[in-house]
C-alpha cells in the first residue's frame, strides 16, 4: 500500500467545531491496523512494520512505503524546480522526480505540505533554493531555523500520514519483553569489563551468562559473553528490551566494550549491526557524568563519534551535543528509570530512584532477594559466584516488575501518539506527546500550522499553592480537585488563541471523558487482571496528558501553541476556585492546612464523623463550576505539615507516610533516618515524651559510641578523578575526597561509592568496609552488628549537632520555639528554664502570607 499525505477536507469546513468522530481520530489516529510493535522508516519513504498477532502470537515484518513530507511557509525555495513542482492533485505531481505541494487552509504560517517519492528530493531542492536565496551554502535544513520548516523523523512522518499507532488490540503483556543486566568489574567501560549478564523475559527465559562458563580467559572470555548475549537476544527476538538505567549504563557500557573487543552488536531485527542513536533532551542530558563516565573522553554517549556506532550509522561525527539515546531497529528500548522519574515527579514519595529502593518501596523485591553492594560485586563473584548469579537475576526480576508497574502509561501513550513507544517513554508530556498529537490533528484537518511563538517575556503567574498552617493537626481530610486546570480549560473554553481548529481543547475533552470511562472499567475488572492493567495504564497515560495541557500553554518557545495569556487565565480561574473551596470549607468549620491544584488538606473538629466529612466536601463541591469536581479522597488520624508538599501522615490504622523531599534522604546517615522515623511516629501518635526519648537515646548512644560507625557514615559518590579534585582542592575542599587522601588513598575510580564519617574535629575519614559488609543501598538497614574491629572513633559532638540541625529540625514546625529548644536540649545540660515535658504539646501555626507561587 502507498500512504498519501493526510487528506484535507474542504478548508471551509475546518472552522466548524470538529465532530466527535474527528476528535477521536485526533486522539487515536484512524487506521485500525492491529498489533504494530515497532516501526522503522527512512527518509526515502521505506518503512518496516513489525506486527504481533493478537494475544501475543507470532511477529511478522511487513514492508511499506510512504511519501515523505514536510511543511514550509512558502514555496520560494522550491521555485527553481520549475515544472517538477506540481500541485498535489495534478497528474504532474505523481511523476517520479516530482515534488508535490498542497496549500493548507487557514492563516497558519506553515501552510505548504510538500511531499515527494523520496525525502531527499525535497531536502536537496530546499537546500539548493535556500543557498541561492541567501547567498551562502546551506547544508542542512536545521540551519534555516525553527519556523522555516517542520520535518518530523521518518517514523513519525509515516505514523502521521497513515493514522496508524502502535499496539492496537495488544495488551501490555502481549509484547515480548526482555530484560538484561550487566555485571561489571567497575563503572568505566574503558577500564572495567563485563563478567556476567543476567537475562530474562516474560516468556519464561531466565539465564545467566558469565565469563567462567567458557574455557576462555580475559578479553576473549568477555567477548564470548557479549557474543552469547547477542545470540540470546536474537533467538528470543523480543519486541522490547528493558532495564533500570538501561540508557545510562548498560547500553553505553555494552557498546563501548563491544567496540573495544570488536564484537559486532547485531541486536536489531534488520539493518546494520551496531546501536543507533537518537538525540534526546530528557533523562541523561543535563546530568553531569552520566554515560559520560562510560565515555569519559569528553561529553555524553552521543559524543565519542568513535563510540558504539556501527560503521553503517550516520551522523555521529557531528552530534557532539552530548545527550542521546540508543536505538535498535525493530525493538524498543525502555529505561525504567524514566518511568520512575515520571512517577515520582507527581507522587514525591520515593526514597530514591535506584532499582533496589524503588522495588522495595513497591513491594516488588523477590522472596529471598540477594543484595550485593555495587563496589563488591566483582570480588563477591570471585569468592561466591552463585551468590552474584542470584543477585543479578533478582535485579532483572525487579526491573521487569518495575516496568510492568510503572511502564503502562508509556505503553498506552503509544496507542495514541504518532511516535515510537521508546520516545514516548522518555519524552516530556507537553512537547513529547501533545505536540505530535496536535500536529497530526492539523494535518488531518488540512489546516496550516502557526509559527512557534517566541518567548514574550510576559511571566506567567504560576500555579497556586497555599500553605495555611504548619505543625501538627489531627483528623485530617484530603479532598481532591480532580485535574483542576484542565477542567477549567474545558469549563471556560480557555485554549491557545492560535489553535484555529480547537485541537488542544478537543483533545482535553476527549481525554477527560475517556479517562473516566477507563477508570470505571478498571474498577470493574478483576484485580491483577490484564484488563485492569490495561485500563489503569490508559487512565494514567490520560492523566499525564491532561495535566500537561496547562503546562503546554505556559511554555512559549517550547510548544507550538503556547499562549501565556491563556495560561494566566487558567491560573486566575484556579485561584478563584481554590479560594471558593477554602472559604466553603472554613465556613463549615474546617481548619485549612494546605491547598494546591491537586487538592486540599484540612482538619475537622473532633466531633465530626466520616459522614460529616463527606457531606461537607459534597456541599463545597456543589458550589463549584460544573466541570470542576471536588471529591473526598481520604482521611488520616494526624498530619505533620512541614512545608508546602512536604508532610507526614498517620493513617487510622497506624501507618506513617512521609511525603516530599524534606523527608527523603537516601544519602543521609542511617542513625538520623532511624531517629526521624521514630520521632515522627511518636509525634503523630501524640507522644511528646516519646519524641524526647528518641532524641535523648540517640544523643546518648552517640556520646557513648554505642552506635557502630556505619550508622553515622554517609554514602557518597566520587565524581571527580584524583587529578580533577587536585585541581579544585585549593578553592573548594570536599569531604569525600579529603577522606580518601587522609588515609593515603590517591587513586580511585570516577563514580566509585564510598562511605565516610567524621572523626575527631570533624575530620572526614572513609569507613573501612568490613569484608562482605552487605548492601550499601539506602534503607537496607546497613549491617546489624559492626565488625569487632570498628574503632568507633567518630566525632560524637559533630553528629549530635547534625542530629539537631538536620534531623530534629524537620520537627521544628510542630512546636513553639521554646518547647522545641527544651525538647531537643542537651540531656547532660538541661536548661534551668525548660518547661516540663508534660506541658509541651504540638502546635499548629497559621501561616500568614499563605499564598505562594509554586
Partner DNA sequence: TCAATCCGGGG
Partner DNA sequence: GTGTACGGATTGA
User: What gap in Å lies between CA 54 and CA 177, rounded to an integer?
Assistant: 15
Check binding of 186 to DNA (CB under 7 A): yes
User: What gap in Å lies between CA 518 and CA 400, rounded to an integer?
Assistant: 24
User: Which residue, 116 or 616, is less far from DNA as judged by CB?
Assistant: 116
User: Which residue, 71 or 585, is less far from DNA as judged by CB?
Assistant: 71
Check binding of 747 to DNA (CB under 7 A): no
Check binding of 732 to DNA (CB under 7 A): yes
Check binding of 735 to DNA (CB under 7 A): yes
How many chain residues bind DNA (CB under 7 A)? 69
Q: What is the dihedral of CA 118, 278, 448, 22, to 10 degrees?
A: 100
Shortest separation between residue 389's beta carbon and DNA, angstroms: 12
What is the footprint of DNA within residues 800-829 (CB under 7 A)? Answer: 806
User: Which residue, 604 or 800, is less far from DNA as judged by CB?
Assistant: 800
User: Which residue, 283 or 584, is less far from DNA as judged by CB?
Assistant: 283
Check binding of 152 to DNA (CB under 7 A): yes
For helices 564-587 and 484-491, what crossing angle results, to 10°?
110
Check binding of 142 to DNA (CB under 7 A): yes
Shortest separation between residue 645's beta carbon and DNA, angstroms: 8
Strands 844-846 and 763-766: unpaired
Helix, strand, coil % over all residues of the chain, rounded to 5: 40, 20, 40
- Span of 21-29, 184-192, 265-273, 416-424 interacting with DNA by CB under 7 A: 184-192
Check binding of 461 to DNA (CB under 7 A): no
Strands 629-643 and 646-650: antiparallel
User: Which residue, 129 or 436, is less far from DNA as judged by CB?
Assistant: 436
Which of 178, 229, 185, 176 is CA-nearest to residue 50? 176
Check binding of 573 to DNA (CB under 7 A): no
One of 103, 752, 790, 793 touching DNA (CB under 7 A): 752
User: Which residue, 164 or 256, is less far from DNA as judged by CB?
Assistant: 256
Contacts 24+ apart (CB under 8 A), 352-357: 352/664, 352/666, 352/778, 354/244, 354/666, 354/777, 354/778, 355/244, 355/245, 355/395, 355/398, 355/399, 355/402, 356/398, 356/775, 356/777, 356/780, 357/666, 357/777, 357/778, 357/779
Shortest separation between residue 738's beta carbon and DNA, angstroms: 8
Contact 157, 66 (CB under 8 A): yes
Shortest separation between residue 428's beta carbon and DNA, angstroms: 5
Shortest separation between residue 431's beta carbon and DNA, angstroms: 5
b/e code 814-827 from CB counts within 10 Å (16+ = b): bbeeebbebbbbee
SS3 category, 716:
strand
User: Which residue, 143 or 610, is less far from DNA as judged by CB?
Assistant: 143
Beta-carbon contacts of residue 61 (< 8 Å; ≥ 6 apart): 48, 49, 50, 51, 269, 270, 330
Residue with cell 510576559: 458
Shortest separation between residue 711's beta carbon and DNA, angstroms: 15
| Nine-digit cell string for 339 | 518511568
Within 10 angstroms of residue 837's Cβ, the number of other Cβ atoms is 14
What is the footprint of DNA within residues 636-695 (CB under 7 A)? Answer: 643, 646, 661-662, 665-666
For helices 503-524 and 484-491, what crossing angle results, to 10°?
130
- Span of 280-288, 593-601, 603-611, 842-850 interacting with DNA by CB under 7 A: 280-288
Shortest separation between residue 497's beta carbon and DNA, angstroms: 20
User: Which residue, 141 or 205, is less far from DNA as judged by CB?
Assistant: 141
Check binding of 2 to DNA (CB under 7 A): no
Contact 629, 517 (CB under 8 A): no
Check binding of 147 to DNA (CB under 7 A): no
User: Which residue, 125 or 716, is less far from DNA as judged by CB?
Assistant: 716
Shortest separation between residue 46's beta carbon and DNA, angstroms: 15
User: What gap in Å lies between CA 309 and CA 327, rounded to an integer?
Assistant: 10
Q: What is the dihedral of CA 833, 836, 839, 840, to 10 degrees?
A: 80
| Nine-digit cell string for 814 | 510542630
Check binding of 455 to DNA (CB under 7 A): no
List, in sequence order, every residue forming a beta bridge with 240; answer none if it has no partner. Answer: 177, 332
Residue with cell 513530507: 69
User: Which residue, 228 or 729, is less far from DNA as judged by CB?
Assistant: 729
One of 173, 370, 734, 825 touching DNA (CB under 7 A): 734
Check binding of 319 to DNA (CB under 7 A): yes
Check binding of 720 to DNA (CB under 7 A): yes
Shortest separation between residue 354's beta carbon and DNA, angstroms: 3
Residue with cell 504494530: 36
SS3 category, 256:
helix
Backbone angles phi, psi at 469, to 5 degrees: -155, 145
User: What gap in Å lies between CA 831 and CA 375, rounded to an integer?
Assistant: 47
One of 264, 289, 835, 851 touching DNA (CB under 7 A): 289
User: Which residue, 258 or 617, is less far from DNA as judged by CB?
Assistant: 258
Site map for DNA, 346-385, x if CB under 7 A? ------xxxxx-----------------xx-xx-------
Shortest separation between residue 420's beta carbon and DNA, angstroms: 12
For helices 435-445 and 20-28, what crossing angle results, to 10°?
130
One of 76, 92, 124, 146 touching DNA (CB under 7 A): 146
Check binding of 770 to DNA (CB under 7 A): no
- Span of 266-274, 278-286, 514-522, 624-632 interacting with DNA by CB under 7 A: 278-286
Check binding of 753 to DNA (CB under 7 A): yes
| Nine-digit cell string for 746 | 590517591
Shortest separation between residue 281's beta carbon and DNA, angstroms: 3
User: What gap in Å lies between CA 53 and CA 498, rounded to an integer?
Assistant: 42
One of 170, 182, 481, 489 touching DNA (CB under 7 A): 182
| Nine-digit cell string for 256 | 563501548
Strands (E) located in 206-320: 206-210, 240-243, 276-279
| Cα 319 versus chain centre, distance | 24
One of 35, 428, 446, 502 touching DNA (CB under 7 A): 428
Beta-carbon contacts of residue 29 (< 8 Å; ≥ 6 apart): 159, 162, 163, 164, 165, 416, 418, 440
Shortest separation between residue 35's beta carbon and DNA, angstroms: 26
Site map for DNA, 292-311, x if CB under 7 A? -xx-----------------
Contact 545, 509 (CB under 8 A): no
Shortest separation between residue 609's beta carbon and DNA, angstroms: 36
Check binding of 449 to DNA (CB under 7 A): no
User: What gap in Å lies between CA 419 and CA 189, rounded to an integer?
Assistant: 32
Backbone angles phi, psi at 524, to 5 degrees: -80, -20
| Nine-digit cell string for 680 | 515522627
Check binding of 199 to DNA (CB under 7 A): no
Check binding of 284 to DNA (CB under 7 A): yes
Shortest separation between residue 322's beta carbon and DNA, angstroms: 7
List, in sequence order, every residue forming a beta bridge with 147; answer none if it has no partner. Answer: none
Shortest separation between residue 184's beta carbon and DNA, angstroms: 5
Shortest separation between residue 689's beta carbon and DNA, angstroms: 27
User: What gap in Å lies between CA 350 and CA 663, rounded to an integer?
Assistant: 10
Check binding of 234 to DNA (CB under 7 A): no
Residue with cell 518501596: 361
Q: Which residues bind DNA (CB under 7 A)?
A: 142, 146, 150-153, 181-187, 244-245, 248-249, 278-279, 281, 284-291, 293-294, 319, 321, 337, 352-356, 374-375, 377-378, 395, 428, 431, 555, 557-558, 643, 646, 661-662, 665-666, 714, 717, 719-720, 728, 731-735, 749, 751-753, 806
Amino acid at each position: 500500500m502507498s500512504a498519501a499525505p493526510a487528506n484535507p477536507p474542504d478548508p471551509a469546513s475546518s472552522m466548524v467545531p470538529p465532530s466527535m468522530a474527528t476528535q477521536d481520530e485526533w486522539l487515536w489516529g484512524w487506521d485500525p491496523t492491529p498489533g504494530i510493535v515497532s516501526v522503522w522508516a527512512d527518509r526515502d519513504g521505506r518503512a518496516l512494520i513489525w506486527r504481533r498477532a493478537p494475544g501475543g502470537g507470532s511477529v511478522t515484518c511487513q514492508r511499506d512505503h510512504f511519501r515523505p513530507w514536510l511543511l514550509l511557509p512558502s514555496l520560494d525555495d522550491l521555485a527553481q524546480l520549475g515544472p517538477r513542482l506540481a500541485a498535489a492533485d495534478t497528474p504532474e505531481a505523481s511523476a517520479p522526480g516530482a515534488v508535490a505541494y498542497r496549500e493548507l487552509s487557514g492563516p497558519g504560517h506553515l501552510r505548504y505540505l510538500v511531499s515527494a517519492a523520496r525525502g531527499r528530493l525535497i531536502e536537496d531542492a530546499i537546500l539548493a533554493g535556500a543557498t541561492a536565496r541567501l547567498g551562502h551554502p546551506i547544508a542542512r535544513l536545521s540551519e534555516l531555523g525553527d519556523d522555516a520548516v517542520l520535518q518530523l523523523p521518518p517514523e513519525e512522518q509515516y505514523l502521521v500520514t497513515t493514522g496508524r499507532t502502535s499496539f492496537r488490540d495488544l495488551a501490555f503483556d502481549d509484547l515480548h519483553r526482555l530484560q538484561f543486566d550487566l555485571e561489571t568489574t567497575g563503572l568505566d567501560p574503558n577500564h572495567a569489563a563485563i563478567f556476567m549478564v543476567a537475562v530474562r523475559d516474560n516468556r519464561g527465559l531466565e539465564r545467566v551468562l558469565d565469563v567462567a562458563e567458557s574455557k576462555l580467559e580475559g578479553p576473549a572470555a568477555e567477548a564470548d559473553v557479549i557474543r552469547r548475549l547477542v545470540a540470546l537476544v536474537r533467538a528470543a527476538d523480543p519486541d522490547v528490551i528493558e532495564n533500570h538505567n538501561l540508557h545510562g549504563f548498560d547500553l553505553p557500557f555494552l557498546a563501548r566494550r563491544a567496540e573495544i573487543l570488536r564484537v559486532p552488536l547485531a541486536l536489531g531485527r534488520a539493518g546494520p549491526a551496531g546501536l543507533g542513536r537518537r538525540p534526546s533532551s530528557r533523562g541523561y542530558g543535563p546530568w553531569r557524568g552520566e554515560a559520560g563516565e562510560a565515555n569519559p573522553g569528553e561529553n555524553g554517549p552521543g559524543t565519542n563519534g568513535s563510540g558504539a556506532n556501527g560503521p553503517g550509522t550516520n551522523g555521529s561525527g557531528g552530534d557532539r551535543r552530548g545527550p542521546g539515546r540508543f536505538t535498535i531497529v525493530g525493538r524498543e528500548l525502555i529505561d525504567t528509570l524514566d518511568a520512575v522519574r515520571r512517577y515520582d515527579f507527581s507522587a514525591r514519595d520515593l526514597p530514591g530512584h535506584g532499582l533496589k529502593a524503588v522495588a522495595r518501596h513497591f513491594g516488588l523485591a523477590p522472596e529471598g532477594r540477594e543484595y550485593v553492594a555495587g563496589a563488591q560485586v566483582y570480588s563477591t563473584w570471585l569468592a561466591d559466584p552463585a551468590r552474584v548469579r542470584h543477585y543479578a537475576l533478582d535485579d532483572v526480576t525487579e526491573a521487569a516488575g518495575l516496568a510492568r508497574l510503572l511502564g503502562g502509561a508509556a505503553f498506552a501513550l503509544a496507542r495514541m501518539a504518532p511516535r515510537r513507544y521508546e520516545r514516548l517513554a522518555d519524552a516530556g508530556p507537553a512537547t513529547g506527546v501533545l505536540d505530535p498529537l496536535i500536529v497530526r490533528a492539523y494535518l488531518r484537518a488540512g489546516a496550516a500550522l502557526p509559527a512557534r511563538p517566541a518567548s514574550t517575556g510576559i511571566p506567567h503567574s504560576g500555579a497556586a499553592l497555599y500553605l495555611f498552617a504548619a505543625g501538627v493537626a489531627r483528623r485530617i481530610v484530603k479532598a481532591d480537585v480532580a485535574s483542576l486546570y484542565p477542567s477549567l480549560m474545558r469549563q471556560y473554553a480557555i485554549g491557545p488563541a492560535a489553535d484555529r481548529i480547537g485541537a488542544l481543547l478537543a483533545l482535553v475533552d476527549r481525554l477527560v471523558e475517556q479517562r473516566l470511562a477507563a477508570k470505571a472499567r478498571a474498577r470493574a475488572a478483576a484485580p491483577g487482571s490484564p484488563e485492569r492493567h490495561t485500563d489503569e495504564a490508559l487512565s494514567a497515560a490520560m492523566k499525564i496528558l491532561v495535566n500537561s495541557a496547562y503546562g503546554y500553554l505556559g511554555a512559549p518557545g517550547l510548544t507550538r501553541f503556547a499562549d501565556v495569556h491563556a495560561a494566566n487565565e487558567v491560573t486566575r480561574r484556579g485561584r478563584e476556585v481554590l479560594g471558593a473551596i477554602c472559604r466553603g470549607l472554613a465556613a463549615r468549620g474546617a481548619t485549612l492546612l494546605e491547598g494546591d491544584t491537586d487538592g486540599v488538606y484540612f482538619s475537622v473538629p473532633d466531633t465530626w464523623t466520616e459522614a460529616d466529612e463527606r457531606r461537607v466536601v459534597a456541599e463545597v463541591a456543589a458550589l463549584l463550576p460544573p466541570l470542576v469536581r471536588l471529591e473526598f479522597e481520604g482521611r488520616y488520624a494526624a498530619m505533620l505539615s512541614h512545608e508546602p508538599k512536604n508532610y507526614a501522615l498517620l493513617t487510622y490504622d497506624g501507618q506513617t507516610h512521609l511525603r516530599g523531599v524534606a523527608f527523603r534522604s537516601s544519602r543521609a546517615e542511617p542513625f538520623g533516618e532511624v531517629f526521624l522515623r521514630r520521632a515522627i511516629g511518636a509525634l503523630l501518635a501524640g507522644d511528646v515524651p516519646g519524641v524526647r526519648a528518641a532524641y535523648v537515646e540517640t544523643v546518648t548512644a552517640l556520646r557513648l559510641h554505642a552506635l557502630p560507625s556505619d550508622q553515622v557514615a554517609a554514602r557518597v559518590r566520587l565524581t571527580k578523578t584524583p587529578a580533577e579534585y587536585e585541581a579544585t582542592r585549593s578553592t573548594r575542599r570536599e569531604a569525600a575526597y579529603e577522606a580518601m587522601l587522609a588515609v593515603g588513598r590517591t587513586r580511585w575510580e570516577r563514580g566509585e561509592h564510598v562511605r565516610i564519617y567524621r572523626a575527631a574535629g570533624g575530620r572526614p575519614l572513609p569507613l573501612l568496609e568490613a569484608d562482605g559488609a552487605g548492601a550499601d543501598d539506602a534503607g537496607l538497614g546497613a549491617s546489624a552488628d559492626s565488625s569487632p574491629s570498628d574503632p568507633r572513633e567518630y566525632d560524637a559532638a559533630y553528629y549530635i549537632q547534625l542530629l539537631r540541625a538536620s534531623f530534629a529540625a524537620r520537627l521544628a514546625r510542630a512546636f513553639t520555639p521554646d518547647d522545641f529548644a527544651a525538647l531537643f536540649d542537651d540531656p547532660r545540660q538541661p536548661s534551668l528554664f525548660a518547661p516540663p515535658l508534660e506541658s509541651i504539646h504540638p502546635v499548629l501555626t497559621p501561616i500568614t502570607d499563605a499564598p505562594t507561587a509554586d
